[in-house]
Structure 1
Amino acid sequence: MNCEACRKKITGDEVLRCTQCMKQYHFVCLNLTPAYYKANLGELRRSWMCPLCINITRRKGNNCNTPIRQQQANMDDSNMSSTSSASITLDQFSRLLDSKLDTKLDSFQKVLTETIRKEVSDQIARLKSEFTTTTDFLAEEQKDIRTELGTATDRIRKLEDEKMQLQTSLSQINKTVQILDKSSRNCNIEIQSVPEKRSENLLQALKKLCEVINCTISESDIKSIRRVAKLNPSSDRPRNIIVSLHSELHRDTIISAVRRFNRTNKSCPLNSSHLGFLGEKCNIYVSEHLSADCKAVHAAARHWAKTNQYKFVWVKYGRVYIRRDEESTAILVRDTDSLSKLTCSKPV
Structure 2
Amino acid sequence: MSCHGCSSALRENNYLKCNGCKSEYCFACLNLTDDSSKLLTPEQIKSLSCPYCRNVTRRINNDDTPCRPRYQKGQAQSINVSFCDVTHNNTANTSVGISTDTGLAKEPVTMESISKLFDLKMAPDSTIMINLRAALNKDIEKMVAVHVNRAIENLKTDFSSTTDYLAAEQADLRSEIRQKDNLVKQLQTDISKCQNSLAKYQSRIQTIEKNLTRHEY
- Greater CA radius of gyration, 1 or 2? 1
Greater RCO, CA 8 A, separation 6+: 2
Which one has a larger percent strand, Structure 1 or Structure 2?
Answer: 1
